[in-house]
Amino acid sequence: MYNLVVFASGNGTTLQSIIDAIKEGNLKAEISLVVSNNPKAYALERAKKSNIPTYIIKSKIPDEMDKELADVLDKTKVDLIVLAGYLKLIGKRLLSKYTIINTHPALLPKYGGKGMYGMNVHKAVIAAKEEYSGVTLHYVNSEYDRGPTIIQTKVKVMPNDTPEDLAARVQYAEKIQLIEALKIMINDAKK
C-alpha cells in the first residue's frame, strides 16, 4: 500500500478529500499519520474520526522541529508527504529524506511566499483584479512556494467575486487536482 503522511495546520478540508477518496476506493493509498503544528486544528479531529494516527509537533524552534519530525517519521511508513494547509517551513532533514508536495491556492509564482495562504491569497488576487486564480501543486523545497510545479488548474475570477466566493471555487478545484495528481504519482511509483 502507498503510504501518505499529511501535514495540516487548520480545518483539514483537503485532508478530508484525501480520506474520502481512499474510503470510496478512488485512491489506492493509506494515510499513515496526520501531523499538525496546531493542537486545535480540526484536521486532527478529522483524522481521529477516521482512525488515523495523529502527531502534534511540540517544538517551536525550526531546527528542533525538523529533528523532532524526522525522528517521528523514521518510525512511520512514508512514501509521500502531502502539505495540505500546513503553514510552517519544512526543514532540511525532511527535505533530504522525503518527497514532499504542497497544494497552494494560487497560480504560483504569483501570490506565494510567507503569509500568502487562505483568504490572504484570495483577497490579494481580487484586489489585483486578476482574470484568473487557481491552484498549484508543487514539490516543496527550502523556500515557501518556490519548489518545482507539478500541475496548475486555472479558476476564473468573476467580476463580483468576494474572497469567500473565489475561495470556494479554488478549494473545489484544489481537491479534484490533488486527488488526480496523487493517483498518477501512486501509479508511477508502482512501475
100 part of a folded domain: yes
Please indicate whether residue 138 is annotated as part of the active site: no
Residue 116 lies in a domain: no
The verdict on residue 28 lying in a domain is: yes
Write the CB contacts of 81 (distance below 8 Å, at least 6 apart in sequence): 4, 5, 6, 7, 73, 94, 98, 99, 100, 101, 140
Domain membership of residue 95 (yes or no) is yes
How does pLDDT run across 104-163, given as a tens digit for each residue? 999 999 999 989 999 999 999 999 999 999 999 999 999 999 999 999 999 999 999 999
User: What pLDDT, in 10s, does the model give residues 131-144?
Assistant: 999 999 999 999 99
C-alpha of 40 from chain center:
18
Residue 157 lies in a domain: no
104: helix, strand or coil: strand
**29-86: per-residue pLDDT in tens?**
999 999 999 999 999 999 999 999 999 999 999 999 999 999 999 999 999 999 999 9
Please state the domain count of the chain.
Answer: 1
| Structural domain boundaries enclosing 10 | 2-109+135-152+174-190
What does the alpha-carbon distance between residue 35 and residue 83 come to, in Å, rounded to a whole number? 9
Mean of the pLDDT values across residues 176-190?
94
**Candidates 93, 104, 110, 175; catalytic one:** 104
- Would you state the torsion angle of the CA atoms of residues 58, 60, 61, 63, taken in this order, to the nearest 10 degrees? 50
pLDDT of residue 151: 97
CATH number at residue 15: 3.40.50.170
C-alpha 161/C-alpha 177 separation (Å) is: 22
* DSSP tag of 129: T
pLDDT computed for residue 190 by the predictor: 77
pLDDT for 89: 93
pLDDT at 143 (0 to 100): 92
3-class SS at 173? helix
- Residue 98 is assigned to a structural domain of this protein: yes
